[in-house]
């Protein structure tokens, strides 16, 4: 795959295949984290798709999305039955993907919108949706398969799109530690700094530093999203630093 949009399309298809194989009693099973059910997770993805599609449409039309729009969508989805949350989410997810795919090159180049203090372009927006989609699909799949891993063809895009999301997933301890991370499948060399003002992640170089940590890229992505507890840690990701890093990345 050469573009995160290809991986997003693959994840949308994977989520559909996964959820269409469930019966209604499984809609209310605990997903990951256990505070959410499968239906809750689908509602989150479905409402997010509605909101993102509206933001895209309004931005390209030169309009502001009403400030109250997001809350109105959440209220609507919170009132749905578990069955509707699951089935409607599949419809909204596909509709967002189709809207993205039909954008012309000029529309993609022109698309920018604000997300809090950040200004996102088309590629950044797709990257954020991809990260969210793949992680929450894992949340659902893990409920029924404890050995599940993140969708393999998406991992290279996810691991290269962590500098932005780390601002939301981390809680700095202010230790000042600088850890060198080497990932496999794909191979990356990264520097994780647990600074007093926040946590940063940058590209690095291969090193013999004693603080060097080796792990699969898939596991590293889950670590930064708070999804690498002891029960979901492959042997290849074990490290003396993991317990501290689980505190830094409690999940969202």
Can you tell me which residue has the tokens 């004693």?
210
* CB burial of residue 159 (10 Å; 0-12, 13-18, 19+): buried
Are 180 and 189 spatial neighbours (Cβ–Cβ below 8 Å)? yes
Q: Are residues 91 and 71 in the same domain?
A: yes
CATH number at residue 145: 1.20.120.450
Q: Are residues 133 and 166 in the same domain?
A: no
Residues 35-57 have a mean pLDDT of: 97
CA–CA distances in Å: residue 39 to residues 75, 88, 146, 226: 15, 10, 18, 20
Residue 14, pLDDT above cutoff 60? yes
Specify the pLDDT at position 240.
84
Q: Which of 129, 156, 183 marks a domain boundary? A: 156
Can you tell me which residue has the tokens 């920018």?
112
- For the stretch 61-85, pLDDT in tens is 999 999 999 999 999 999 999 999 9
Can you tell me which residue has the tokens 């605990």?
30
Q: Are residues 44 and 82 in the same domain?
A: yes
- For the stretch 162-215, pLDDT in tens is 988 888 889 888 788 888 999 999 999 999 999 888 899 999 876 666 568 899
CATH number at residue 236: 3.30.1050.10
Beta bridge partner(s), residue 122: none
How many alpha carbons fall within 13 Å on the CB side of residue 129?
32
Residue 1, pLDDT above cutoff 70? no
Q: Are residues 118 and 94 in the same domain?
A: yes
How many alpha carbons fall within 13 Å on the CB side of residue 3?
10
Are 39 and 29 spatial neighbours (Cβ–Cβ below 8 Å)? no
Specify the pLDDT at position 176.
83
H helix or E strand, kind and range, residue 38: helix 38-60
Residue 33, pLDDT above cutoff 90? no
- For the stretch 87-102, pLDDT in tens is 999 999 999 999 999 9
d(CA 146, CA 125): 30
Tokens found for residue 110: 């022109």
d(CA 245, CA 128): 22
Residues 35-56 have a mean pLDDT of: 97
d(CA 173, CA 194): 7
Q: Are residues 108 and 195 in the same domain?
A: no
CA 58 centroid distance within chain: 24
Q: Where are the alpha helices (DSSP H) in 111-161?
A: 122-142, 155-159
Q: What is the mean pLDDT of the chain?
A: 92
Across the chain, where does the E strand assignment appear? 112-115, 118-121, 178-184, 188-194, 199-203, 213-216
**pTM (2 decimals)?**
0.93
Q: Is 135 helix (H, G, I), strand (E, B) or coil?
A: helix
Kindly indicate the confidence band of residue 241, based on its pLDDT and cuts at 50, 70 and 90. confident
Q: Which of 156, 183, 208 marks a domain boundary? A: 156
Q: Are residues 128 and 175 in the same domain?
A: no
Domain that holds residue 35: 4-156
Overall domain count for the chain? 2
């Amino acid at each position: 795959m050469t573009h995160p949009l290809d991986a997003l399309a693959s994840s949308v298809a994977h989520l559909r295949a996964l959820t269409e194989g469930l019966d209604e009693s499984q809609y209310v099973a605990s997903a990951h984290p256990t505070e959410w059910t499968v239906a809750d997770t689908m509602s989150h993805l479905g409402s997010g798709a509605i909101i993102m599609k509206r933001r895209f449409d309004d931005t390209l039309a030169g309009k502001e999305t009403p400030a109250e729009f997001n809350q109105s969508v959440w209220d609507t989805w919170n009132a749905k039955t578990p069955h509707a949350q699951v089935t409607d989410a599949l419809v909204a997810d596909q509709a967002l993907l189709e809207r993205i795919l039909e954008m012309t090159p000029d529309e993609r180049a022109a698309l920018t919108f604000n997300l809090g203090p950040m200004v996102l372009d088309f590629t950044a927006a797709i990257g954020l949706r991809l990260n969210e989609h793949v992680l929450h699909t894992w949340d659902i799949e893990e409920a029924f398969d404890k050995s599940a891993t993140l969708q393999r063809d998406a991992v290279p895009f996810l691991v290269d799109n962590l500098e932005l999301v780390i601002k939301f997933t981390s809680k700095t301890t202010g230790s000042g530690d600088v850890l060198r991370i080497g990932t496999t499948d794909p191979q990356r060399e990264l520097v994780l700094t647990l600074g007093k003002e926040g946590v940063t992640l940058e590209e690095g170089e291969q090193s013999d530093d004693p603080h060097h940590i080796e792990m699969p890229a898939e596991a590293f992505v889950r670590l930064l999203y708070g999804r690498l507890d002891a029960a979901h840690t492959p042997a290849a990701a074990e490290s003396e630093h993991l317990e501290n890093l689980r505190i830094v990345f409690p999940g969202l």
